[in-house]
Structure 1
Amino acid sequence: MTNESDSLFGSRRMAAQAPTASAPVPDLARNGDLTPNGQSSVSDSADQGSTTETASVRTMSGSSPGTRPRRAHRHDVDVMRVLAGLTVMVGHSGGVLIGCSEEGSDAWWLGHLAEAVNPWAVPMFFMIAGWAVLAGAPPRTEAKMWDRIIRHLVPLAAWSVIFVLGFNLFDTDEVNVRHDLARSFLEAGRPAFHLWYLYAYIPFILVFGTLVLFWKNQRPWKLAALALLLAGSTVWAPFLLGLIGSEQDAWKWGFATYQVAYFVIGAFIIHHAEELRPPIWSLCLLFAASALGVLWWESQKSYPIENANPLIVGLAVSVILLVSRLRLGERTKKVFTRLASASFGAFLCHVFFLELFFERLYDVDTGPILLVAQYLGFLIAMAAASYALSLTWGKLHLRRILG
């Protein structure tokens, strides 16, 4: 099988690679294989970034026929992942200001300004997942696909428990431990409201990963059976809950049409980003116009803006194509690779610091300059604490559990 058949979107052959060259490829678990959120599946040691540090495709003499060339590491995707994680924090902190201030106040407008540049971040997670599954690192075996599912399912379960017990312990939210732990099997909600996307994300990688394996003439029947079981879950799950007399009545395991569009179109745009090169000024204009549109929509029409809103497409596409134009130095590449390995974990834990800093300490009645100073200070503190914590448990080899 040639390298072109590895990707549903065709190859992105590097200029340095000879057309007929081939190279032996180690197991992707040792060669920077990416999970759908772009998280490297190599060991979670402190030098993880250097393991996948590959700026160009290498060829080796004496390689056996039929082997595939090693893919170049996409450092622009690392940057997208880090920016998306940080932008989620920007938006969530803006949402706190909107929720705890009076409409039309300085704090209310500051919150909406933060929210205006934020809505592309979670759709970007779906786009990067699409790129990873369909083009960047498509699964080679059913076992690899199960591994990817578990890498997201275990942290989802772990953080669902951590948030319920932690918020109950610190009394930062009204938490009914038994009710909320049971609910976490069905949907995301406070205090771990931000985990909602994993309830769509995991079914996504299950279904599309299964399709990719069928495309490669494999027969992942167990994955297919689970996908079919999940497809009918909107009918049988509420029926079973009613049958046993459960008070739980929600079921959010599944995905929407707009998420499929982000997944597929985002995969194509990320995969071919180097070839899609509109003028930089046009991308900046697209981002600014989309952000202003989001500001108007959320402040005047409907808050929060729906993820299916076309304005978000403008934000996401402009970010992808702008980031793909960056040329990073070797040190910067290593920094972003390391931060990218911690971005999923930082996303999972940042709500703790959001509640501690913004909801408890922020003074929404102060003057405009102090409002901005508080916002930036707490935002930096939240991001630093979240990434530091994620990097720490990465060094302790706990990524499989904590993300």
Structure 2
Amino acid sequence: MSTENASAHPATPRETVPAPRPPADAAPATAAVTAVQTEAPAAAAATPAKQDRPRREHRYDIDLLRIICAFCIILGHVGGECMLAVDKSEQNGKAVYWTGLFLDSVTSWAVPLYFAIAGWAVLVGAPPRDGRTLRKRSLRMIVPVGIWSAVYLAWGWVRDTNGHPTPKLALDAVFGTVQPAYHLWYFYAHVPLILILGFVMLLKAGRRPWGVVAALVVLGAGPTATGDLASVTGWDVPHFGWGAGTYSMVYAVVGALLLSLPPTPRGHRRWWVLGAVVSLALILWSQHTIHFVIPNASIFVGALAACVLMSLNGLRIPERIRPRLTLVMDAGLGAFMVHVLLLKTISPSFMDGGRGWLGSAVAAAALTVATAVPSFAVSMLWGKLKLRRYLG
């Protein structure tokens, strides 16, 4: 999403002098010239006012955050593959277990920060102008999710790894249960989130986006309606998963607040890094002792996300690397979409519960590179082919 947003200022009132009326027998060209000369001072006066409007500086630090989030989600899923290799049990391979636990924990802030960035974009960076803007932003997510859901289901059908009949999984995907593309659950929360926040912004601006209202009514009534339908008919009605949870809304609102703060002073960044280290230790303890995978709503995850955000907030990005940063950032969404397909295909060749500490680290690093590099590369490729709106 674009982050440019100019605020308009009313033009300074000024006296106007009536223009001399052209003679009645003047040619149309003469009258037109007189009109242009009359309008020229007004246009010239409007030009400085337009130039004086402050333009919001592009947030390259947020572009960097988006790239890091995309990479960290891939790294976290590599950690998940490590945990699956030992059946989430330390007894089945201590080194692989702790490698997976660490990778999942150190990247647990990525999804919450995605919600935070989404909240900043809607509330601060680029508030929607009308209902059409919100519809375009929603379709920018919904269309790629639909296409990639079909791709993942077809790939699972070919490899016989879907686990359930493919038509049933396809129907479930429409309602919000995504298998085998489990990572796409994020968009079933992201779209309702931007619709709710965007509706509030439009309402504040005096708009009446009835189409957005209708969509929100469907999202709000969907879970109850499908549950009632299952009770009355006895049908196996899919679970309705389109909805923004309270925690995602909190991340979005608090994230918008934090990202709108002035840049973090350089001398303060080390304190936020220290806070991140403490939060990570608590997450490791929680994942090992209480529950794996730790919920996004955990206070420890929230603390880690806030520390990472504040340590990078307002970070100055050198101009020489900004074009490359933008290129990689544009590919981040596509890399997120495709990486699980690649990861699930190649991970059995890398993960083995019997590996030692060095072997586990090397295997995890190799799997990360083998997943992340091709994912970003193919995303850049279809970006050049103008397929971004379809594939993310």
Map of 2:41 onto structure 1: none
Q: Percent same amino acid at aligned positions?
A: 31
| Residue identity in the other structure for 2:298 | N
Stretches of structure 1 lacking an aligned partner (at least 5 in a row)? 1-5, 12-18, 23-59
Which of 80, 99, 107 matches 1:95?
Answer: 80
Which of 333, 337, 341 matches 1:348?
Answer: 337
Worse overlay, 290-299 or 253-262:
253-262
TM-fit CA distance, 1:224: 1.4
TM-fit CA distance, 1:241: 4.7
Structure 1 residues 20 and 234, CA, compared in 2 at 3 Å: closer, same or farther? closer
| Residue identity in the other structure for 2:152 | F
Determine which structure has more spread, i.e. the larger CA radius of gyration. 2
Q: Is the 8 A contact 2:143 2:390 kept in 1?
A: yes
1:75-224 equivalent positions in 2, closer than 5 A: 75-101=60-86, 102-104=89-91, 105-224=94-213
Q: Is the 8 A contact 1:188 1:194 kept in 2?
A: no
Structure 1 residues 276 and 297, CA, compared in 2 at 3 Å: closer, same or farther? same
Q: Is the 8 A contact 2:226 2:237 kept in 1?
A: no
Structure 1 residues 252 and 291, CA, compared in 2 at 3 Å: closer, same or farther? same
Map of 2:390 onto structure 1: 401
Q: TM-score, normalised by structure 2?
A: 0.84
Deviations 1:151-187 (A, max 9, x none): 1111111111111111211334435211100100112
Map of 1:270 onto structure 2: 259
- Tell me how far apart the structure 1 counterparts of residues 250 and 147 of structure 2 sit (CA, whole Å): 29
Q: How many residues align?
A: 351
Structure 1 residues 232 and 181, CA, compared in 2 at 3 Å: closer, same or farther? same
- Tell me how far apart the structure 2 counterparts of residues 66 and 149 of structure 1 sit (CA, whole Å): 32
Q: Is the 8 A contact 2:96 2:356 kept in 1?
A: no
Deviations 1:345-389 (A, max 9, x none): 111111012112223432331222121111101101111011011
Which of 196, 201, 215 matches 1:226?
Answer: 215
Q: Is the 8 A contact 1:151 1:400 kept in 2?
A: yes
Map of 1:280 onto structure 2: 269
| Residue identity in the other structure for 2:66 | R
Map of 2:16 onto structure 1: none
Task: Name the SS of the counterpart of 2:90 in structure 1.
Answer: coil
Query: Does residue 330 of the first structure (1) align with residue 319 of the second (2)?
Result: yes
- Tell me how far apart the structure 2 counterparts of residues 358 and 196 of structure 1 sit (CA, whole Å): 21
TM-fit CA distance, 1:107: 0.3
Map of 2:59 onto structure 1: 74
Q: Hey, which of these two has a bigger chunk of helix by percent?
A: 2
Q: TM-score, normalised by structure 1?
A: 0.81
Task: Name the SS of the counterpart of 1:290 in structure 2.
Answer: helix
- Tell me how far apart the structure 2 counterparts of residues 198 and 278 of structure 1 sit (CA, whole Å): 37
- Tell me how far apart the structure 1 counterparts of residues 183 and 143 of structure 2 sit (CA, whole Å): 16
Worse overlay, 292-301 or 186-195:
186-195
1:10-29 equivalent positions in 2, closer than 5 A: none
Query: Does residue 362 of the first structure (1) align with residue 351 of the second (2)?
Result: yes
Q: Is the 8 A contact 1:107 1:371 kept in 2?
A: yes
